[in-house]
Each structure stands twice: as structure tokens, then as C-alpha cells.
Amino acid sequence: MRREARRGTLSEATSGNAARREKLEPGRHTAGTPGRATNGGRSRPTSPPLTAAVPPPRLLGLRGAGSVPGARTTTGYGMDLSYGSEIEAFRGEVRSFLDANWPPKGDDASLSREEQTRRFRERATAAGYLNRHVPKQYGGSEQPPDALRATVIREEFARAHAPTEPRGIGTMMLVPTLLERGTDWQKEKFVQSTIMGETTWCQGYSEPGSGSDLASLKTRGELRDGEWIINGQKIWTSSAMEADYMFCLVRTEPDAPKHAGISYLLIDMKQPGIDVRPLKQMTGSSEFNEVFFNDARTPEDWIVGKRGEGWLVSRTTLKHERNGIGAAAQAVGTFQALVRLARETRIDGKPAIEDPAIRRALVEVEGYVRAHEYSGYWQMSKDLKGENAGVIQLMNKLNSTNIGHRFAKLAMEILGDEGLLAPSSHGLGLGIQSTSDWIAQYMSSLGVAIAGGSANIQKNVIAERGLGLPRDAAANRSK
């Protein structure tokens, strides 16, 4: 069954290539370890670059043309994609900083990875490259908004595999929300420790029966004697086991229309009224949980925004999550890892990248990555001109998660039987480095298409807000 499924998948890309089917027999695949010259007697192939369908300099995995790799150039079709000399000079500054600081050198080289990362983040923030939107008084670098500089930083940090801000839900979602809507004391108490990775958060939105239709949530918050008393249940709460605090949507005005009856509370997770139960995933790990509230408590002023405004406040958070997930730079880096995998894995004694079906599938995926990358530039141009990016912006998350799944499926095709091994248990924060990372990427790519609003819901949003089609009938019914 499984073999059939694998053939079926690749045949979409190969249109019935009989020779390819021959090659997908069990036991013929051996995967090398990306980044190593030799591995257990398997040598790194001296494969030719992908020449037939895609000229090497234009392939993302083989970019090398031009004096400054990564710098945008004129396409030759009358469109200037360069960022201009001022921004390219800035790129040079970022590169010098990275050359001096990452990977760690001197005494820093012998420190633990955690400490290396912490020190690097401090230096990068002091240099103005990280935490740019966070005021200095809360530990940020307080840089003026500059989409081009921010993009260059993202590109160069990705190229150098250097750490960026901690990727937790606290930095990505809570900090921007507090900066926009929190009180002064809330910012002082929570922002700096969160961007330094010292305080961790989980997001208490989804409930059984209230995922896509989130505004129907039932967990109650009642104000009694200067405290919110919370009762109910959340589900799919990522990292709830480890988190210090939760930002949570609760129903505080039961008689108001459903969107107007919700408040956004901050809750200490380490208290007797909260019971966290891990949910086992197919990866074998338990990254998300059920959370039960039984007279859990939080002080009256641990509310962000006003009573009943939680829906509005939560939209601020979601906006930031969508932008975070949609970054094209990550897709480019993962594609490069995929090309490496195809070079270093052997099928029938030859590098997988020499297999015409694999090459064709790689080129197809590259087309999606390119389209995503250039959509990103289009969106950025619109932003810089103060124009609404419209449907392009709405498509960002959907494209990003679709591409992530395509990557992972193709990696499984390349890995063959090795794709049945156990996935890696550590996170993919520093990129894909091994076979088991690819397996974890494959499994997690399914969940990413659901987290933060499912792909179907995202399509509804694109249709309704982007293309002006009629409202979803199901959504109208549940008002």
C-alpha cells in the first residue's frame, strides 16, 4: 500500500515515467548526512548541477552568480529587483557583524549552545538587528520601522544560520500585542523577560467545539472580589506544560453577542486551579495539551484591553502570527536543504539529484518557492508605498504552509525506506540537518496547515476579504 502511495505521489510530477517507478523499489535508497563529505563509506556524490531544466545560477540551492550572493539584481526583463546602494551597503554591515559574531569564536566557541545563543542575541539587539520593534526601555533595539532593512537582516541571518529572536509564541504573538494594547505595567513586567526567553507563554484560544469558530468559546471568566475566576477547558494548547503564563480568551459577558462577550486575560499557569494534560502526537512527542480550569484565578488588572474587547485584542495577535509563519526566507533555506538532500542521497547507487523524476519534482517545487518569494517582494513594494497588499498578503500563510508540505513530501520520496525511521525529537529551530529532521518536518507540516487557522479557513478569508466573494454560509449561520 505504502509503495503504491509513494508511486502515486511522484507520478503527479513525472506523468507516468516508467523508468522512475523502477527506481522506487524498496531498499535502494541510502541517505547521507547533509553537510558531511563522507558518511559511513558513502561518499558525497560529484553530481552535476541541475542543468537541463534550470540553469544553475538561477537555482535557489545553487545561487552563486554576482559578486554579492543573495543580493537582488536586475532580471534582464526590465525589472530592477535590487534594493539600491544604500540598502546593499547596510547588507555589508550586517554581514560584517555576522562574520565577527556567528558562528561564535574565541572563548565563546567553547560555551554551551544555549549560552552562545543568548550572548549572540544580546549583541545583535545592541547592534540594532534584533527586537527592532521593541522600545529600549523594554530591552529592544527600538529601530524605526524599515521593511527593507528588516528583510535584509532576515535574509542575512538565515544565510549565516544565526539565531534570531526566540521563536516562541510569546515573542511572536504576545509581545506585539502588549506593545500595541497593553498597559505600562504589563509591558514592564512581561516584555523584556519574554524577548530574552526567560518568561514563556502558551496561547489559550481553542476549545473542544471552538476552533475555526473560535468566537463560540465557552470558558467562563467571572469577576469576584478583585479577581477573575476561570472555569472551562482549552485544547491543543502548545507548550502548556512548560509555559509560565497563558494569554487566554474567556467569556466574561455571557449575555452579549458572541464576539463582544470575550476578554483577553493573562494567567499564571503554576497554580492549583489549572490541570495540564499532554496529548500524544504521531511524532511520539507531546507538544500540545488539554488545559482544564477549575476555579483558576488571575488578578483583575491582568486583562489586556477592556472587558468584552478580547476579540479585537486577539486579532492583533493573529495578524502577527500570520506574518511570522509566512516568511519566504525560511522556504528558500529549506529548499536549499532539500537540494542538498537530493545530492547526498543515493538511489540505485547514484545521487538522487541525477534521477530525472527527482530533478523534475525539485524544479516544480522551486517554481512554488520562487513565486512565494516574489509575491513577498510585491507585498513589500506595496507596503513601502503605503498601499494595501490585498490578496497577496492574505495568501502568504497558505502558500507558505503548502510549500512546506510539498518540501516534506518530496523529501520523503527521496529518502524512500529511510523515511520510515523515527522523527527527530528536537525542534527544527536551527534548520533541517539530518534525515530524522526531514521526517519530523513531514509530520509537523500537516499540523502547520491547521495551527493559527486552518488552510480551509484561510481560503475562505482570501475568497471573502481578498476577492469579494459572498460570505461563508456556515459562518453566517453561527452568528
Ligand X SMILES: Cc1cc2nc3c(=O)[nH]c(=O)nc-3n(C[C@H](O)[C@H](O)[C@H](O)COP(=O)(O)OP(=O)(O)OC[C@H]3O[C@@H](n4cnc5c(N)ncnc54)[C@H](O)[C@@H]3O)c2cc1C
Footprint on this chain of ligand X (rule: CB under 6 A): 202-206, 211-212, 236-238, 288, 447, 450-451, 453-454, 456-457, 460, 472, 474-475
**Least CB distance to ligand X at residue 395 (A):** 16
- Cα separation values, 433 from 40, 45, 292, 419, Å: 17, 18, 37, 15
**Least CB distance to ligand X at residue 414 (A):** 25
Residue 156 contacts by C-beta under 8 Å, 6 or more apart in sequence?
70, 91, 94, 95, 98
Q: In terms of CB distance, is 33 or 231 closer to ligand X?
A: 231
Q: In terms of CB distance, is 5 or 473 closer to ligand X?
A: 473
Determine the residue with CB nearest ligand X. 211
Q: In terms of CB distance, is 55 or 209 closer to ligand X?
A: 209
Mark whether 321 is an active-site residue: yes
Residue 250, H or E segment: strand 245-251
**Least CB distance to ligand X at residue 453 (A):** 6
**Least CB distance to ligand X at residue 213 (A):** 6
Cα–Cα distance, 190 to 249 (Å, whole number): 18
**Least CB distance to ligand X at residue 291 (A):** 9
Cα–Cα distance, 263 to 251 (Å, whole number): 6
Cα–Cα distance, 477 to 293 (Å, whole number): 29
445: left (phi over 0), alpha (psi -120 to 50) or beta: alpha
- How many CA atoms, within 13 angstroms, populate the side-chain half-sphere of residue 43? 3
343 by DSSP, 3-state: which?
A: helix
Q: In terms of CB distance, is 195 or 202 closer to ligand X?
A: 202
Cα–Cα distance, 201 to 469 (Å, whole number): 37
Cα–Cα distance, 30 to 46 (Å, whole number): 16
From the candidates 155, 156, 321, 344, give the one annotated as an active-site residue: 321
**Least CB distance to ligand X at residue 281 (A):** 8
Cα–Cα distance, 141 to 109 (Å, whole number): 25
Residue 401, amino acid? T
Dihedral sign for Cα atoms in the order 5, 10, 12, 17: negative
Q: In terms of CB distance, is 231 or 281 closer to ligand X?
A: 281
**Least CB distance to ligand X at residue 454 (A):** 3
Q: In terms of CB distance, is 119 or 459 closer to ligand X?
A: 459
197 by DSSP, 3-state: which?
A: coil
Q: In terms of CB distance, is 339 or 462 closer to ligand X?
A: 462
**Least CB distance to ligand X at residue 193 (A):** 20
Q: In terms of CB distance, is 211 or 273 closer to ligand X?
A: 211
CB 331 within 8 Å of CB 404: yes
Cα–Cα distance, 90 to 74 (Å, whole number): 19
Across 252-315, the runs of DSSP E, i.e. the strands, are 262-268, 274-278, 288-299, 303-304
Name the phi and psi angles at 173, rounded to 5.
-120, -45
Cα–Cα distance, 13 to 339 (Å, whole number): 16
- Cα separation values, 99 from 90, 96, 103, 162, Å: 14, 5, 8, 10
Cα–Cα distance, 423 to 434 (Å, whole number): 10
**Least CB distance to ligand X at residue 390 (A):** 21
Cell numbers for 129, please give them: 538587528
Other Cβ atoms within 10 Å of 270 Cβ, number:
8
Q: In terms of CB distance, is 7 or 167 closer to ligand X?
A: 167
DSSP state of 300: T
Query: CA nearest 396: which of 350, 474, 452?
Result: 452
DSSP state of 145: P
Catalytic residues: 321
